[in-house]
Amino acid sequence: NAGVMQNPRHLVRRRGQEARLRCSPMKGHSHVYWYRQLPEEGLKFMVYLQKENIIDESGMPKERFSAEFPKEGPSILRIQQVVRGDSAAYFCASTPMEGTGSEKLFFGSGTQLSVL
């Protein structure tokens, strides 16, 4: 009865490197959300995906950030050329069906990204 799995738990990158964050949703869940929590801030929506499709990416920065959820395998949040301001906790959440607003999200434990 595995929950939402995120890896790695901690990721350290130097400025200019790439960061790849992985998320495997709960069994039977086909929709994934990514949220970012900056220090002393709340959870900010980034992107909402279903298999092979981006539903809503209105919270994603226009440059350097991308997300995918392939037919097979985990969802990936990719940050190219990281900067110090990207340091944050990145949380993935999944739901069993298309968001109706009433579906609660099941969160993973997050990936703490630190950019040196």
CB 91, min distance to other proteins, A: 6
Query: Among residues 32, 33, 74, 94, which is the contact residue for other proteins, using CB under 8 A?
Result: 33
**What sign for the dihedral angle of Cα 112, 19, 45, 107?**
negative
CB 56, min distance to other proteins, A: 6
The answer to whether the bond into 8 is cis (omega within 30° of 0) is yes
CB 36, min distance to other proteins, A: 11
CA-to-CA separations, 61 to 10, 19, 46, 75, 101, in angstroms, rounded: 22, 15, 8, 18, 23
Tell me the window of 11-19, 36-44, 61-69, 72-80 that interacts with other proteins (CB under 8 A). 36-44
CB-based contact 48:28 (threshold 8 Å): no
41 binds other proteins (CB under 8 A): yes
Point out which residues bind other proteins (CB under 8 A). Answer: 4, 6, 33, 35, 40-45, 48, 56, 59, 91, 93, 99-102, 104-110
